[in-house]
Amino acid sequence: DTGVSQDPRHKITKRGQNVTFRCDPISEHNRLYWYRQTLGQGPEFLTYFQNEAQLEKSRLLSDRFSAERPKGSFSTLEIQRTEQGDSAMYLCASSLTGLDTQYFGPGTRLTVL
């Protein structure tokens, strides 16, 4: 098992551009979570999927953010019209079920210039 992987690891973009991140969970994990972490803070929940269904979204997830998990395996997180305030580490985690431990990927660090 290779663990949770995320791509890219780093992304630098200009304000107003769209960006997309990918997360590959641990195989057979039904739950997939997205978090955002800013400097000096703990991860903040954004959204999660049970297989392909997006079950919950945080208030932090503005209309510019969209996430998908089309086949219940990998997931993508897209940010449209990026703003400087979007600069953060975006973390993905997966768990076997909703009650199990979440295992995290290495994150994608986004810098918006």
Partner 1 sequence: AQKVTQAQTEISVVEKEDVTLDCVYETRDTTYYLFWYKQPPSGELVFLIRRNSFDEQNEISGRYSWNFQKSTSSFNFTITASQVVDSAVYFCALSEVSNTGNQFYFGTGTSLTVIP
Of the two residues 79 and 93, which places its CB atom closer to partner 1 in the complex?
93
Smallest distance, Å, CB 16 to partner 1? 27
Of the two residues 22 and 109, which places its CB atom closer to partner 1 in the complex?
109
Across-strand partners of 31?
Answer: 50, 95
Smallest distance, Å, CB 24 to partner 1? 14
DSSP state of 86: G
Smallest distance, Å, CB 60 to partner 1? 12
Cβ–Cβ under 8 Å, residues 95 and 50: no
Cβ–Cβ under 8 Å, residues 47 and 31: no
Which positions touch partner 1 (CB under 8 A)? 31, 33, 35, 40-45, 48, 50, 55-56, 89, 91, 93, 97-99, 101-107, 109
Task: Name, in order, each residue with C-beta under 8 angstroms of 42's C-beta and a sequence gap of 6 or more.
Answer: none
